[in-house]
Amino acid sequence: MKANIVLLPGDGIGPEVVGEARRILEHVAGKFGHEFSFDVHQIGGASIDQFNSPLTDETLAACKAADAVLLGAVGGHKWDNNPPALRPETGLLALRKGLGVFANLRPVKVHPDLLSASPIKAERLAGVDIIVVRELTGGLYFGQPKKREMRDGHEYAVDTLEYFDYEVRRVMELAFRLASGRSKKVASVDKANVLESSRLWRKIANEVAAANPEVSIEHVLVDTASMKLVTSPATFDVMVTENMFGDILTDEASVLSGSMGMLPSASLGSGGPGLYEPIHGSAPDIAGKGIANPLGTILSSALMLRYSFNLEHEAACIEAAVDAAISAGCRTADLGGSLGTRQMADEVLARLA
Ligand code: NAD
């Protein structure tokens, strides 16, 4: 197949890890007879420095016209005190909005040889294979903003958790589609004992469940879910939840794997290009040293092949090569080893070949 991929290396370690993921994608293209073309654009601080904007119209247009987008990370101390319009994260939020991606998928698997890298007891981690699906464009983070004000002599602030039925339905349907190709169970996480928005969430979840009888649904309150994620994580498969609950639960789930450098993510909408990125940030403390773990970005490129290009076999080959490299003892510094970014990617490439 032919695909046009926009690469947004971004800031800090972004260019280092995206460069390695590109080598893996080029290798896969050659091995399986695909034509991937790469179009590199700036985002975040790098774009502010060059164009005085964290995401230019040209870059957004290129992303919208692409088949998929692979991003490194944005941010760094240099831009920390900039006004909101000139902050690196503003570019990322504008990109997600511009692409219309409404579901953020974060798979969390724990390699058997990395059990000791996690703060959770090894026996609780056996068999962990979760995908957390976080609703990305609604909920508490996008409720009607109100200005902080004085009320009865006190400072008063309010945020609003809002959802439309269609926003819940589209992310729920995506979660059920994912689950039907996996172990056929969905955990829908809400706070329906307290929140009206959660009662709407649960109603829609039940409607989608009724239309997909081959997949079972379990409703889990968010407080219980956060406890079970560390006490019995292997009981979860696909977990779907509201924006802020998902923000918190995905970070909690990422701890299971031992290193942030390992974890990929995909942000999907309906139809347009997907956005793929590792879950970590720009890691200014190690940027430019050639020691960043490239596996989160390499695994994000595997998700791109799976979800945007329907190349399941090629995606599984990348994941198997990463697993094999870890099994052979290949480790970057964050995993207690001494391999550099390039060397780690070379180890994955050797196992792809
Ligand atoms: P971070 O994820 O960049 O780093 C946290 C710690 O993890 C650091 O010690 C870092 O060295 C380490 N780390 C992260 N990725 C690694 C990798 N691939 N290999 C080895 N070690 C790795 O988080 P932070 O330090 O809180 O944020 C740094 C900057 O990144 C900030 O400007 C923040 O706003 C930004 N950020 C961006 C994104 C994004 O682009 N999606 C996400 C989170 C943070």
Domains of the chain: 1-102+263-353 (3.40.718.10), 119-257 (3.40.718.10)
Q: How many CB atoms lie within 10 A of CB 306?
A: 21
Ligand 1 centroid to residue 181 C-alpha, Å: 32
Dihedral angle of Cα 243, 245, 248, 249, to the nearest 10 degrees: -110
Ligand 1 centroid to residue 148 C-alpha, Å: 31
CA torsion sign, 131 to 70 to 347 to 12? negative
The per-residue pLDDT for range 300-331, each reduced to its tens digit, is 999 999 999 999 999 999 999 999 999 999 99
Asked whether 260 lines ligand 1 (CB < 6 A), one says: yes
Highest averaged pLDDT of the listed ranges 54-58, 83-87, 91-95, 144-148 = 54-58
DSSP string, 224-262: HHHHHHHHSGGG-SEEEE-HHHHHHHHHHHHHTTS-GGG
CA 340 to chain centre: 23
The pTM of the full predicted model, rounded to 2 decimals, is 0.94
* Residue indicated by tokens 């601080």: 45
Both tokens of 127, joined, read 């068999």
Nearest CA to ligand 1 atom 30: 281
In contact, 279 and 106? CB cutoff 8 Å: yes
* CA 272/CA 60 separation, integer angstroms: 13
The per-residue pLDDT for range 121-179, each reduced to its tens digit, is 999 999 999 999 999 989 998 888 788 999 999 999 999 999 999 999 999 999 999 99
pLDDT of residue 143: 84
Residue 77 CA: nearest ligand 1 atom is 32
Active-site residue flag, 251: yes
Average pLDDT of 243-266?
91
* CA 53/CA 45 separation, integer angstroms: 8
pLDDT band at 258 (very low <50, low <70, confident <90, very high): confident
* CA 1/CA 115 separation, integer angstroms: 37
Ligand 1 centroid to residue 321 C-alpha, Å: 25
Active-site residue flag, 323: no
Task: Identify which of 282, 334, 339 to mutate to test ligand 1's pocket (most ligand atoms within 8 A of the CB).
Answer: 282
Ligand 1 centroid to residue 280 C-alpha, Å: 5
The per-residue pLDDT for range 185-199, each reduced to its tens digit, is 999 999 999 999 999
* CA 137/CA 130 separation, integer angstroms: 22
Active-site residue flag, 156: no
Residue 80 CA: nearest ligand 1 atom is 32
